[in-house]
Amino acid sequence: MLDILLTRIQQKHRTISYPKGPAPELPDRFAGAPVFDPGPCAEDCGRCADVCPTRAICRAPELRVDLGRCIFCRKCEAACLENRIRFGPDYRMSVRKREHLWADGRPLQLAKSLDAAGKRLFGRSLKLRQVSAGGCNACEADVNVLGTVGWDLGRFGIQFVASPRHADGLLITGPVTANMKEALLKTYAATPAPKLVIAVGACAISGGIYSGHEQVNDGAVDILPVDLLIPGCPPHPLTILDGLLRLLGRIEKLSQNPI
């Protein structure tokens, strides 16, 4: 017993103070939202699009990156001779609509909060059922980590529950494999309305690098009505937390400009 108490003292209080305090520091090599240097690009270049494994880059009429497809591998950054694309430190990338995931250098339209009725329902208590539908366990792990003492998701009233019957919504990871589609739809059906759907990671949004495989459905977006999209491969826990809190209207007031 004494050991347990001594260990408790040694392990200290570790919960981050964010969002009241500053966000935890990210590594200097972290790849967040892309930043663009003003063009123009040579018309016949296209090196970035050629190396992109997920065809996330569109060069006309202007250089844009689809964050719903991007896996943040930075191959384009390395390929560009003019340093037009860099992946910056901004972890805030969650949006409410699929088309808001196009990054073109203008500030992203970050997720707006639920309307008043939605906030009244879910704002202080949001129970989610997580469904991995072909996820590689990286998105799952970084969702899971939000439940640890370091992040303590419970302090926002957000919790993962064992049964869809107890849930206010689904948090989906993975490209939705053909073999998981039915289970996903059944889980959705078993969740009482009104319900939210959150897609986490490039796979759940677009299929990621598995897009186009006959064995997957290119994500959940075309299968279920998605209320929040959190890009990344996998998204950093801070990106996920930022998205969830924005949806619940808890950090709207914070600056929307890139950090």
Partner 1 sequence: MTDITSTLFSMSNGRAADISGLNRMDMPRFQETVINGIGCGLRLAAMFAHETDAGALRLWAILARDSQSELLPLYTDCTGESYPSLTPQCPQAHWFEREIFEQWGLRPMGHPWLKPIRFQSPYRKHAAAAPTTPIGVTDFFQVSGEEVHEVAVGPVHAGIIEPGHFRFQCHGETVLHLEISLGYQHRGVERRLMNGPDSRSIHYMETLAGDTTVGHAVSYCQIMEALSETRAPQRALAVRGIGLELERIANHIGDLGALSGDVGFLPTMSYCGRIRGDALNITALLCGNRFGRGLVCPGGAGFDLDSARQAELLRRLDALESDAASAVNLLWKTSSVMARFEGTGPLTPQVCNEIGLVGFAARACGVRRDIRQDFPSGIYEYARIPISTQDSGDVLARAYVRWLEIQRAIAFIREQTAKLPDGPVREPLGGLAANRLAVSLTEGWRGEICHVAITDDQGRFRHYKICDPSFHNWFGLALALREQQISDFPLCNKSFNLSYCGHDL
Q: What is the DSSP letter of 95?
A: B
Candidates 33, 57, 93, 223: give the one binding ligand SF4 (CB under 6 A): 57
Q: How are beta strands 85-87 and 34-36 bridged, if at all?
A: antiparallel
Helices (H), the chain: 2-11, 47-51, 75-79, 116-122, 138-144, 178-190, 202-206, 237-247
Residue with tokens 């006309």: 60
Least Cβ distance, residue 105 to partner 1 (angstroms): 21
Query: Which candidate, 42, 48, 89, places its Cα nearest to that of 70?
Result: 48
Residue 75 or 181 with smaller CB distance to ligand SF4: 75
Q: How many residues bind partner 1 (CB under 8 A)?
A: 65
- Cα distances (Å, whole numbers) of residue 156 to 24, 71, 147, 167, 247: 17, 29, 11, 16, 12
Least Cβ distance, residue 235 to partner 1 (angstroms): 10
Please choose which of partner 1, ligand SF4, none residue 131 contacts, taking the beta carbon within 5 to 8 angstroms, the exact cut-off set by kind: partner 1
Could you tell me the two tokens for 41?
């690009």
Least Cβ distance, residue 258 to partner 1 (angstroms): 17
Please choose which of ligand SF4, partner 1, none residue 187 contacts, taking the beta carbon within 5 to 8 angstroms, the exact cut-off set by kind: partner 1
Candidates 66, 90, 142, 242: give the one binding partner 1 (CB under 8 A): 142
Tell me: does residue 203 bind ligand SF4 (CB under 6 A): no
Tell me: does residue 143 bind ligand SF4 (CB under 6 A): no
Query: Which candidate, 117, 68, 116, places its Cα nearest to that of 95?
Result: 68
Residue with tokens 């064995």: 215
Please choose which of partner 1, ligand SF4, none residue 215 contacts, taking the beta carbon within 5 to 8 angstroms, the exact cut-off set by kind: partner 1
Contact 107, 256 (CB under 8 A): yes
Chain residues binding partner 1 by CB under 8 A are 3-4, 7-8, 10-11, 14, 27-31, 51-54, 71-75, 130-145, 147-150, 160, 162-164, 174-175, 177-180, 182-183, 187, 208-210, 213-216, 233-234, 236-237
Chain residues binding ligand SF4 by CB under 6 A are 51-54, 56-57, 65, 70-76
